[in-house]
Structure formats: structure tokens, C-alpha cells
Amino acid sequence: MIDRRLILNIDWVLLGLAVAVCLLGILNIYSATTPYKVVGMAYYTKQCYWMLAGITISLVICSLDYHVLENFSYWLYGFLVLLLLAVLVIGKRSMGATRWLHLGFFNIQPSELMKLVIIVTFARFFNNFQSVGGLTVKEVLLPLTLLFLPAALIMKQPDLGTAALVIFIALSMILYVGLRWSTILTFIGVTIPMAFISWSYLLRPYQKNRVLDFLDPERSKLGSGYHIIQSKIAVGSGGFWGKGFIKGTQSQLRFLPEQHTDFAFSVFAEEWGFVGCLFLIILYISLVLWGLNIARRCNDRFGGLLAVGVTAMLFWHIVINMGMVTGLFPVVGVPLPFFSYGGTSMITSMVGIGLLQNISMRRFMF
């Protein structure tokens, strides 16, 4: 049962930061969807429900000791890989890519779950793994294989953004465990030719287009390059103080693509300016550093690895999304955690918060 001490130990900083970003997000969704033709419930209302559902799920997760996960981790991994295979075989085609699996009563996106499962899997793997002075090339091969299988399946869907995230999360955890210099050098030596091969043979034309558009946005004014240009105009024209709530011309005149989901940050940047962005980024920095702090305070290796993994997941979402919106990265369709509209992203992020909360609460009870 739930220990009373646990409730006393709820990490209010963590919960507070996440909820603060959520509330800013809802405010922003309200503005971003003003020009939409909405049938049924308004987007911001739905997002409120998603937030409440997310918080509830995170609290449920707190109440179970995270050490249980260690026993299940490989089973989870195997199950998810099977689901990813199932998606490729029977998944529903939508938006030119197969991502969803219909289970009758509800639909799941296994690639989204994989982000969490790879964390648990790696945490379990490295917890039982003793290495002195960093991992050697040989030691890193097995975890890389564990990573490669789901990443390749997600890439096949094709969902470049999620595949990249899964890889980044896993690599962050490997970095945390520590690598020898020789390993890092070998890794670089292999990656560069691999990148060349994947560019020539593996990437889909639309993915290549996105990369090329990024390198030269003028290439296509109406395609994805158009999105980056319009997003940069929105962010830049916000200036220092911003144009004001619901006064962003770029968003209200609908020059922005997906302005309530992936490009929500450009709406925010236009309307609240540099000041608003600074505030949001401070919230995010605090959240990420707090996550690392939880990892630092945790006295068992499994918990530490788990906390680093979850924090890495949040971190990479934030960086890739903001980089995309400000024209630093290609458009890959990664939402901003707690801020973009969408139930899937909210639930995944809140599950992450639940895990961090779980680790934070039990730090004295090792």
C-alpha cells in the first residue's frame, strides 16, 4: 500500500514545474486555435483534460515502487518490439506513415511507448553491468543492438523524429554510464560512413527533402521550407516584448503550420516575445536540471539510470522542438513536452514525471 511517508515526500518542485508549463501551454493553445473552425470540444478544454489525466497517471505510477520495473524490463522490451512489428504488418495508414495500432477500444502508438521502454531496458542492462573506467567498444555492442532493433522498426514506419529520440535517449544513458575515449573515437569512425550510406539508401524522399529544406529553406517556399520560414518570421517578429496575447499576426492569420501542436512554441514566441521565451526556457532548464538532481540524489544505480533516461527524454524533446521552430533543425514533428496540444505527448511526458517522482520520493528508503 501507499506509505504515508511517501505522500509527505512528494516532490513539489518537480510537479510544480510540469504543471506550470502545462498551464502556459493551455493558454497558448487557446490563442493558437482561435482562428480554427472547431467542431465539438475546444482544443484548450481537451488539453485541460489531458493534463488532469496525465497528473492522475503520474500519481498512480508514484504509488508503485519503481524497482518492480527492473523485473519486467526485458519482458516489456520484447512485447514492445512485437507491437512495433505488428504495426508494420497490420497498423493503420495515416498521413503517409503507419504508426497506430487499433485495439478496438483504443488506439496506441507503440513507437511512443518505446521511448519509455528503452529507458527501462537500458537502466536494467547497465544496473547489472560493472565496468571500470568507462565502457569498451565490446561492452557497448550489446546495448547498441538492443537499441538498433526498435529504432530500425520505428524508422521503417517511417517516423524519423521518434526514431531519433529513442536513439538520443539511449545514447544519453550510455554517456552517463561512461565511455572510454577509444570507444568514442571508434564510434565516430563508424558513424560517418553509416550516415553516408543511410543518406544514399535508407532515407525516404520526404525525409531527404526536409533535410535539404533545412539546409536551404528557399528551396521550396510552399513545402516544408515554407513552414520554417513562416515559423522564423513568427518568432523573430515577436521581438523583445511580443505582440500580445491573441495578437500574433502569423498565428491568427494562419501562416503557421500545425500551430497548436508542433509549432505551438512559435505562436508563443510571437505573442510573448523574448521575455516570454526566456521565462519558458527557465522553466524547462529548471525541470531538466531538477531531473538530473533527482538522479544525483538517488542512491541506487537503477534509479539513477532511470532518472537520467527520463530527463534525457524530456530534454531532447525540448531541444529538438525549439531547434526546429527556430530554424536550427529540420522539421521532424516532435512536440514540446507539456506545451504542445496532444494527448499522446502529454501522457508520455507525465509518465516520465511519475517515474521521476517515484525515484525522488524513495530516495531515503533505499
Q: What are the residues binding another protein (CB under 8 A)?
A: 35-37, 39, 130, 132, 172, 175-178, 221-222, 230, 232-240, 249-250, 253-255, 269, 273-274, 277-278, 281, 284-285, 288-289, 292-293, 295-296, 299, 301, 304, 308, 315, 319, 322-323, 326-328
CB of 211 to another protein, least distance (A): 19
Q: What angle do CA 223, 227, 233 make, to 5 degrees?
A: 140
Least Å distance, CB 23 to another protein, is 21
Residues contacting residue 324 through CB under 8 Å, at least 6 positions apart:
262, 330, 331, 332, 334
- Residue 237 is which amino acid? S
Least Å from the CB of residue 155 to another protein: 24
- Which is nearer to another protein, 85 or 236 (by Cβ)? 236
Q: In the block, which residue shows the cell 524490463? A: 73
Based on CB atoms, which residue is closest to another protein, 161 or 242? 242
Report H helices in 222-263: 224-237, 249-252
Nearer to another protein, 51 or 322 (CB): 322
Q: In which residue are the cell numbers 510573448 written?
A: 272
Side-chain-side CA neighbours of 244 within 13 Å: the count stands at 1
Give the shortest CB-82-to-another protein separation in angstroms: 31
Nearer to another protein, 180 or 232 (CB): 232
Q: How far apart are CA 261 and CA 315, in angstroms?
A: 18
**Residue 152: which of 184, 125, 114 has the closest Cα?**
114
Residue 321 CB, shortest distance to another protein, in Å, is 10
Do residues 58 and 346 make contact, with C-beta atoms less than 8 angstroms apart?
A: no
Min CB(201)–another protein separation in Å: 30
Q: Which is nearer to another protein, 111 or 250 (CB)?
A: 250
Whether residue 295 contacts residue 308, with contact meaning beta carbons closer than 8 Å, is answered with: yes
Residue closer to another protein by CB (options 87, 308) is 308
CA geometry: angle 283, 287, 293, nearest 5 deg:
140
Give the integer Cα–Cα distance in Å for 256 and 201. 32
Q: Which is nearer to another protein, 160 or 295 (CB)?
A: 295
Q: How far apart are CA 288 and CA 292, in angstroms?
A: 6
Residue 264 CB, nearest distance to another protein (Å)?
A: 15
